[in-house]
Amino acid sequence: MREAIRLAGESVENGGGPFGAVVVKAGEIIAGSANSVTLDNDPTAHAEVNAIRQACHKLGTFDLSGCAIYTSCEPCPMCLGAIYWAHLDRIYYGNTRTDAAEIDFDDDFIYKEILKPLDGRSLPLIPVLRNEAILTFRYWQEKEDKTEY
């Protein structure tokens, strides 16, 4: 956790957001990163996502089962989703999402939006060409040599 916190502080010093994360396997840090949203002009470049990408690259896998993530702040909804998709075993965090909201990093609106029905969300979700799009799902379903995840 101290390394995640150190990375968060280093990020602030370098012009990034105050978030850091490390992925650990068997007591060893596999990857560590900070938030680089403003530095990379990438809204997905949160510390957790960056650390997951690095860990997957280093380990040569998209499945981080057997690993844990230490993050300087409770993960936002995007990062939480990425953590679940990566199959990390545990999440350790320092600051809470309430702490983050107090310094204007407020994700609460996203948590609330997710709970709303699709037609009640502030960002319209508009279905288009499902009858064509479904063909790729059928192709996936029938493909025998696919890598499932």
Q: How far apart are CA 108 and CA 105, in angstroms?
A: 9
**For the sheet containing 90-95, what is the strand order?**
28-34, 20-25, 67-73, 90-95
- Please choose, from the candidates 8, 6, 7, 29, the residue with its C-alpha nearest in 3D space to the C-alpha of residue 99: 8
Point out which residues pair with 24 in neighbouring strands.
Answer: 29, 68
Q: Compute CA distances 48 → 14, 67, 91, 123, 133, whole Å.
A: 18, 13, 10, 25, 31
Q: How far apart are CA 9 and CA 41, in angstroms?
A: 19
CB 49 within 8 A of CB 1: no
Which residues are designated catalytic?
Answer: 48
